[in-house]
Amino acid sequence: MTNTISGAVVGSRSLGRHGRMSEIEAAQFRDAERLFPGGVLGGNALPNDVRFVVSHGRGPRFWDTSGNEYIDYVLGSGALVLGHAHPAIQQAVAEQAGQGTHFFAYLNARAVDLARKVTPYIRCAERIRFTTSGSESTFHAIRLARAFSGKTRLLKFEGAYHGNHDYAQHSTSPKVVAEFPIPVPDTAGIPPLVTDLTLVAPFNDVDALERIVAEHAHELAAVIIEPIQRILSPKPGFLKNVREITARHGVLLILDEVVTGFRYGLGGAQAYFDIKPDLATYGKILGGGLPVGAVAGRADILDQADPGQKGQSAYVYQNGTLQGNPLGCAAALATIAVLEEPGFYDRLFAIADDLRAGLKEVFDRHKMGVTVFGDGPMWHFLFANRVPENYRDILASDMKKLVRFDVELIRQGIFVLPANRRFVSSTHTKDDLSETFEAFDRACLAFKA
Ligand SMILES: Cc1ncc(COP(=O)(O)O)c(C=O)c1O
C-alpha cells in the first residue's frame, strides 16, 4: 500500500480492519504503549485486534492510519452532531485562527456573540459562564450550589456520569451496588470525606427520591441529574417530579445537559421535557468538537462568581485559562447556525428512527434476543427482553455478551463504544445506514458462529 492521506494509507473500501495494518500504524501502537498509561489517551481501551489510530474523519466516517474505514456512532463522545470536519466549522475556526486563538478569560467578541446566541435558547439562563469541558461545568455548578445554599451534600443518581472530578465520581457504574443512598466511589484517590458528602438515589423512582431528599434536605445543597441518564429515558413526569421535590425541600436542581444540550432541540432537555432547573451544565455539542462548556442558570447563583466580590466570604472562584476561548466560540457559533436551519432536528431524529427500525429488523431476523431502544438521536440495544428503567435493569442484562457483540461490530467497521450509549449525526445518510445494517448482519452471523 503506497497512497497516503495525511500519513494514512488508503486501502480497501470495505469497512473494518480485517487484519490490515500498515507499518505506520504498527509503529504508532508501539510508541503509544511505551508513552501512554495502558497505551491509550484516556479511560477507554479496545482489544488489540480492533484498536486503531485515527488518521482523519469526514462526515460520519473516519479512517485509521492503515487506511481502514469505519462508520462512527461514537462521534467524539457525542460532540460531533454535525459529523467530522464539517465545512462550516472548518471555515469558522480558520477565520478565527487568523485573528488570534486565545486572549485568556477577558472579554472577546466571539464569546459575547456566543452568549448572546445561546442564552435565549436555555430556559434557566439568566447568566452564563463558559468553561472548557463538561466536567468543569458540573464541578463549578456544584461549587456554586454549595456556596449559595450553605449546605454541603450532593445527591446524584445511580448510573449517572457527571464528569471526571471527585465530586462526581460515585456510583457511575458500580459492579457491586450499595444500598441507597450509600455512594460507591468510581476511582481510587477520592478522599473518604468527599464520598461522605454524596448521596445516591435510583433513577426513575419518585418515592425513593422523595424519601432521601426529605431526610437530608437540611444538608443537601443540590440534586444533579442527567435528564436522559446515559441510555435511560425518564418515565413520563419523572423530571417534573424531581423539580417539584427539590423546590419543595429547598434543594437546588442542577440539570446536566452535557449530552442533551442542543441535541434534543435548541432548547435541549429543558424544552424537550418542559422543566426549568436552577442551574444547567453544557459541553459536547456546544463546542462543535472544540473545548467549550458552560454553566448557565439563575443570576443570584451565578453572580456569586462576580470578581467584584473578591475578598468577601460569599465570593465563588470560577476561572480557567481557556474559558471563553474564541476558537471554541467560533466553532460553537458555526455549529449553532447549522442547528438553527429549518428541519435540522426533524432530519436528525428521523435518521435515528430509521436506524433503530433497521437494527430491530436485523436482530429479530437473527433471533438475537435483543431489545433496541433510545430517545431521539441516541440509540442503544441490550441483550434483555425489555427497555431498562434504571441502572440495575442494565446490570441485569447480559453485559458481557453486549461487550463481545460491540467488539464484533468494530471488527465489521461500525464504531461504537462497547456497552456505552451511541449517537447519530446529521451526516449519516441512508447509504451509511444500509452499510450499517449489512455490518450488523455480518456481526450477528459471526457472533452466532
Ligand atoms: C452527562 C455528562 N456530564 C458530564 C460529562 C463530562 O464531560 P467532559 O468529558 O467534557 O468533561 C459527560 C461526559 O461524557 C457527560 O456525559
- pLDDT category, 14, cuts 50, 70, 90? confident
Query: pLDDT at position 4, please?
Result: 39
Query: Taking all residues of the chain, what is their mean pLDDT, rounded to a whole number?
Result: 96
Q: Mean pLDDT throughout 30-51? A: 97
Answer whether 241's CB lies under 8 Å from 157's CB.
Answer: no
CA 137, 140, 143, 148 dihedral sign is: negative
Q: Is 175 helix (H, G, I), strand (E, B) or coil?
A: coil
261 lines ligand 1 (CB under 6 A): no
CA dist 268 and 39 (Å) reads: 36
* Ligand 1 pocket residue status of 132, Cβ below 6 Å: no
The finding on whether 163 has its CB within 6 A of some atom of ligand 1 is yes
b/e sequence 128-139, b meaning 16+ C-beta within 10 Å: bbbbbbbbbbbb
For a mutational test of ligand 1's pocket, the pick from 259, 260, 279, i.e. the residue with the most ligand atoms closer than 8 A to its C-beta, is 259
What letters, b where the CB count within 10 A reaches 16 and e where it falls short, cover 337-346?
Answer: ebbeeeebbe
pLDDT digits (tens, 9 = 90+) for 311-322: 999 999 999 999
Which residue of the set 72, 284, 391, 432 is catalytic? 284
Judge if the beta carbon of residue 134 lies within 6 A of ligand 1.
yes
Strands 61-64 and 69-72: antiparallel
Mean pLDDT of 157-178: 97
pLDDT top residue among 111 and 1: 111
What pLDDT is recorded for position 3?
Answer: 35
- Which cell is 118 given? 445561546
Q: What is the pLDDT of residues 182-198, one digit of tens each?
A: 999 999 999 999 999 99
Q: Which amino acid is at 141?
A: A
Chain segment 336-378, per-residue pLDDT in tens:
999 999 999 999 999 999 999 999 999 999 999 999 999 999 9
**Strands annotated E in 328-437:** 371-373, 378-382, 414-415, 422-423
258 Cα: distance to centroid of ligand 1 (angstroms): 6
Place of cell 471554541: 328
The whole-number pLDDT of residue 8 equals: 40
For 97, 110, 130, 284, 439, the CA distances from 328, given in Å and listed in that order, are 10, 9, 10, 11, 35
* CA neighbor of 203 nearest in space, from 27, 67, 392, 57: 392
What does the pLDDT read at residue 10?
37
Outline where DSSP puts E strands in 52-177. 54-58, 61-64, 69-72, 127-131, 153-157
